[in-house]
Amino acid sequence: MLRPIEATAPHPETIRLQPTRGFSRVLAPRELWRYRDLAGQIALRDITVRYRQTALGGAWAVLQPIGFMVVFSLIFGNVAGISSNGLPYPLFSLSALVPWTFFSTALMLGSDSLVSNAALVSKIYFPRIFMPAGVIVAGFVDLAISLFILLIIVFAWGYAPSVAILTLPLLIAIATAAALGTTAALSAINVRYRDVRYVVPFAIQMWLFISPVVYPSSQISEPWRTLSAINPMVGVVEGFRWATLGTGNAPWDLIGISAVSAAVILAAGLAYFDRVERAFADFV
Amino acid sequence: MSNVAIEAHELGKSYTLGLNKRGYGTLREAVVEAAQRPFKRGADKRKGDTLWALKDLSMTIRNGEVVGLIGHNGAGKSTLLKILSRITEPSTGYAEVTGRVGSLLEVGTGFHPELTGRENIYLNGSILGMRRAEISARFDEIVEFAEISRFLDTPVKRYSSGMSVRLAFAVAAHLEPEILLVDEVLAVGDAAFQRKSLGKMNEVAKEGRTVVFVSHNLAIIQALCTRGVLLERGEVIADAPINQAIDNYLRTLERSASTDLLERTDRDTRAYDETLVRQLEIQGPSGQANAVVAGQAATIAVVLTEELPSMECQLTIANSLGQPICTLDSEMSAPGDVRESGLGPRIECEIPALPLVPGRYRIDVIVKAKRQIQDGLQAAAFFDVEPGLVGGRPTAATGSEGDIALPHRWRLPV
């Protein structure tokens, strides 16, 4: 018996649309994979648009941390005389500012991503996590540029990274996990409560000072030094310093705690996002 | 293998009114409410707080059917499309959708003003659910359809609104899903482009794809669809061949125009929740209501509940199929316009010689104050045009050859 030709066509899938409850929803890998093209396009859009119609373009990725480095070196290095563990203060702060800027920009833009794309969210279906995730992916480009400049400055100053530089991917992964977990939660809350807009800039400033960007964490007495690594940026920042400047001891204790903490933040943030995602279109 | 494309089973969607009215809550309100909740149980479950945009809606749409959803504003048409396109979840019931869904709820969704036309084609295409390779394959077709080839590498923010709308529609029209959901998007661009878009939609419908279509333009619905589903207050009240469903809808429209306008809830109130339009009066030369004569003077009076500062009014006259014929807009002022202090809460529009062929017409009204829409009603009134003389010439008997009767003069050989 002949088989009908249409049997070769893929059998169309039936999707059931119904009220969902709890965590039964979308961060399913299949769903994300199905919309992979859109994910790519959104990330591409975020990268392309970030510096369109700016005179300095991608240079902004570098100017921001460098500007902070100059100010911090003058105020905290010279005037306040904060210890930099014997390193030149500009290098000390810039090596921390590179990952910090990546993290704070992700928080800043990511927490607003669902609201600023309200037209899209209320008119088209797609896995909503692409919005905050796209912002973070776009941030990788900035991170790469500023990391490159950092390494040039490090060499110019007569320092050289050791093999420890191989841990950078791990450190970036920790920062990414922490950023994605936090922005997922913040962007979701922002859909319901626009208070987030006012909280985030303020929270970022506070977060800067509880992270060892302008001071070394060795200045903190134990057990607080170790405990402070619950803030994932502590492990990331100290790790970046050690990995890019090639001096000091490996802060594995901090990195380890921060990695665990970042994983918890990521899981909690995504879980919360997943729970409230279904109602975004009704509130945004 | 089943040939059912969409199966809805007792679908319901409820919205909490309190939140919608305020737009969105603030964190403080949520905290206060959470703190108060233990003290006022019961009170939270007031019935009036929930609006059912859809209620127990069941329907089956087969593969290849072209279905038009019709109904008043707020009848639940758009909510249904939003559920079927997965933008929002139903509150009760379920729907099963078989096949790839493309939804076109607004033209140009996801266009980014900073990106060029080329970049936006790719972005918009993937937002609408096309694969990158598909977009590349149809890229030239899209550009040609949109007539923007010269501006491909110009940021879309420098496009005229007509150009961006054409581009947006072109991308959407080249989408090839098995099920297409369309909401009120054909009314874009100039007349020539509209005809082209309509032709394209016709093609899509004839290709055997399943289409669910929402529009206020009944003529378009009638031309494209084979089946009509009439919704009212979130429920299906008629599901029939398209002509029958449209007849049904027109009858409900007339019924609602004959009821007290103040009781109607299908309003376009943006600014306040107040109802402003009380009644429409259409008067012929001799003053009798709702019957006017072709070629003679007619006055449309909008009776309001109150006077607001610097009011403007917009009246759209549509034929019996709901196709707009003309819009009379007081914001486009002319030397003859006057503002009178003794007029009271009413706005009058005078047409010196009514250029309409005999038939039944309807009026949609929008009242603005301070440049904002205060109240709007579709099908606020119906009126009949009686045969008369336009420019001394008797009007055609029916509206089958158009709706307009122009005063004119011939010059013929002996």
Let me know: does B389 contact B343? Beta carbons within 8 Å: no
User: Domain locations in chain B?
Assistant: 4-252, 264-401
| Three-class DSSP category at B355 | coil
Cβ contacts of B115 on chain A, cutoff 8 Å: 45, 48-49, 52
Kind and range of the H or E run holding A156: helix A130-156
Rounded average pLDDT over B338-360: 89
pLDDT surpassing 60 at residue B304:
yes
ipTM score above 0.90? no
Long-range contacts, stretch B221-227, CB < 8 angstroms, 24+ apart = B221/B68, B221/B70, B221/B246, B222/B68, B222/B246, B222/B321, B223/B198, B224/B66, B224/B68, B224/B198, B225/B66, B225/B67, B225/B68, B226/B65, B226/B66, B226/B67, B227/B65, B227/B66, B227/B67, B227/B68
Give the span between the Cα atoms of A145 and B319, in whole angstroms: 63
- Sequence length of chain B is 414
Task: Name every residue whose Cβ is closer than 8 Å to that of residue A86 and which is 6 or more positions away in sequence.
Answer: none
A21 in reach of chain B (CB within 8 A): no
Across the interface, of B103, B114, B132, the residue whose CB is closest to A49 is: B114
Better-scored residue on pLDDT, A171 or A36: A171
Rounded average pLDDT over A227-246: 91
Q: How far is B152 from chain A (nearest CA, A)?
A: 16
Residue type, A210: I
Q: Name which of B127, B130, B154, B179 to mutate to probe chain A: the one with the most chain A Cβ atoms within 10 A of its Cβ.
A: B127
pLDDT surpassing 60 at residue A25:
no
Q: What is the full DSSP assignment across B243-293?
A: HHHHHHHHHHHHHHHHS-GGG-------S-S---EEEEEEE-TT--BTEEE
Give the span between the Cα atoms of B165 and A265, in whole angstroms: 43
Cβ contacts of B130 on chain A, cutoff 8 Å: 37
Q: How far is A189 from chain B (nearest CA, A)?
A: 9
Q: Give pLDDT tens digits for B165-209.
A: 888 888 887 877 888 888 876 656 677 777 777 787 788 778 888
Do B127 and A119 lie within an 8 Å CB cutoff? Answer: no
Give the span between the Cα atoms of A259 and A233, in whole angstroms: 10
Give the span between the Cα atoms of B360 and A128, in whole angstroms: 48
Do B119 and A19 lie within an 8 Å CB cutoff? Answer: no
- Determine the residue of chain B that is closest to A49 in CA distance: B114
**Matching residue, tokens 């006017």:** B292
Between strands B277-283 and B298-304, the pairing is: antiparallel
Cβ contacts of A11 on chain B, cutoff 8 Å: 1
Across the interface, of A14, A52, A121, the residue whose CB is closest to B98 is: A14
Better-scored residue on pLDDT, A273 or B371: A273
Residue B399 is predicted with a pLDDT of 53
Q: Give pLDDT tens digits for A105-118.
A: 999 999 999 998 88
Across the interface, of A20, A52, A120, the residue whose CB is closest to B89 is: A20
Lowest mean pLDDT across A258-267, B43-52, B264-273: B43-52
Lowest mean pLDDT across A4-13, B21-30, B47-56: A4-13
Ramachandran angles phi, psi of A150, nearest 5°: -55, -45
Give the span between the Cα atoms of B166 and A62, in whole angstroms: 40
Q: Could you tell me the fold of the domain covering B264-401?
A: Coagulation Factor XIII; Chain A, domain 1 (2.70.50)
Asked if CATH classification 3.40.50.300 holds for the domain at B4-252, the reply, yes or no, is yes
Beta-strand runs (E) in B37-184? 50-62, 66-70, 92-98, 101-104, 179-183
Q: Give pLDDT tens digits for B78-123.
A: 889 989 988 888 999 999 998 888 877 777 677 888 889 898 899 8
Cβ contacts of A115 on chain B, cutoff 8 Å: none
- Determine the residue of chain A that is closest to B126 in CA distance: A38
Residue B1 is predicted with a pLDDT of 45
Neighbouring C-beta atoms of residue B310, cutoff 10 Å = 9
**Matching residue, tokens 């509130």:** A283
Residue A1 is predicted with a pLDDT of 37
A184 burial (CB, 10 Å; 0-12 / 13-18 / 19+) is buried
Q: Give pLDDT tens digits for A76-99.
A: 887 888 888 888 888 999 999 999
Give the span between the Cα atoms of A180 and A269, in whole angstroms: 8
Do B109 and A126 lie within an 8 Å CB cutoff? Answer: no
| Three-class DSSP category at B223 | helix
- Determine the residue of chain B that is closest to A10 in CA distance: B99
Please indicate, yes or no, whether the overall pTM of this predicted structure exceeds 0.80: no
Mean pLDDT of chain B: 82
Do B126 and A37 lie within an 8 Å CB cutoff? Answer: yes
